[in-house]
Chains A and B, each alone.
Chain A
Amino acid sequence: MYKLLIHVFVLIILSPAQGQNKLPLNIPYSNIQRAILSGMPIDLNFSFRMDGAQICYTTDGTIPGKQSKKYGQLLHISKPCTIKARAFHPDFLPSEIKQVDFYNKGLKIDSIETTAANKKYSGNGPKTLIDNILGDTDFKSNYLGFNTDTAVIDLHFTHATKIKQVAISFGINQGAWIFPPYKITVRNHFGMVVGEKNISNANEPNNEYYRYIEMPIEGQQYNKLNITIETLSQLPQWHAGAGQKPWLFIDEVIVK
Chain B
Amino acid sequence: MMDRRTFIIDTAMLATSISFPFHFFDHNKNIVFGHQNKRYTWDEHWLDGLINKPSVKDCHEMVFTDKKEVILLTNDTKNNILIFDKSGKLNRSWGHDFPGAHGMTIHNEAEQYLFITDTEKHQFYKTTLNGKILNTWDCPLETGKYSDKKAFVPTETAITKEGEIYVADGYGAQYITHYDRDGHIKNIFGGRGDGDEHLDNAHGICIDYRTVKPTLIITDRNRCCFKRFTMTGDFLEKIVIPGANMCRPVISGDYLYAAVLTSYNTGNANTGFVIILDKDNQLVSAIAGTTPEYKKGICQTMQQTVKLFKHPHDVMIDDEDNLYVCQWNSGQILPMKFVPYV
- Residues on A lying within 8 angstroms of B by beta carbon are 1, 3-4, 7-8, 11-12, 15-19, 21-26, 29, 47-51, 53, 87, 91-92, 137-139, 173, 175-176
Contact = CB atoms under 8 A, between A and B. Distances in A.
Contacts of A87: 305
A50 B290 contact: yes
A7 B13 contact: yes
A49 B21 contact: no
B310 to A, nearest CB: 11
Chain B interface bracket (under 10, 10 to 19, 20 to 34, 35 or more): 20 to 34
Nearest to B32: A91
Contacts of B31: 23, 91
Contact of B307 (A17, A25, A49): A25
Contacts of B306: 23-26, 50, 92
A250 to B, nearest CB: 18
Contact of A23 (B12, B24, B28, B264): B28
A138 B27 contact: no
B26 interface: yes
B160 interface: no
Interface string B177-216: 0000000000000000000000000000000000000000
A23 B27 CA distance: 9
A18 B267 contact: no
Contact of A138 (B24, B26, B265, B305): B265
A49 B20 CA distance: 34
Interface residues of A: mostly helix, strand, loop or mixed?
Answer: loop
A133 B26 CA distance: 48
Report, nearest first, the 3 A-B pairs whose CB atoms are least far apart. Answer: A49-B290, A49-B291, A17-B25
Contacts of B303: 26, 29
Interface of B: 9, 12-13, 16-17, 20-22, 24-28, 31, 263-265, 267-269, 271, 290-291, 293, 300-301, 303-308
Given A50-B305, A51-B291, A21 B271 contact: no
B25 A21 contact: yes
Nearest to B307: A24
A15 B271 contact: no
A209 to B, nearest CB: 10
Contacts of B21: 11, 15-17
Given A1-B9, A7-B13, A137 B291 contact: no
Contacts of B291: 49-51
A175 to B, nearest CB: 6
B13 A19 contact: no
Contacts of B22: 17
Contacts of B28: 21-23
Contacts of A3: 9, 13
A21 B13 contact: no
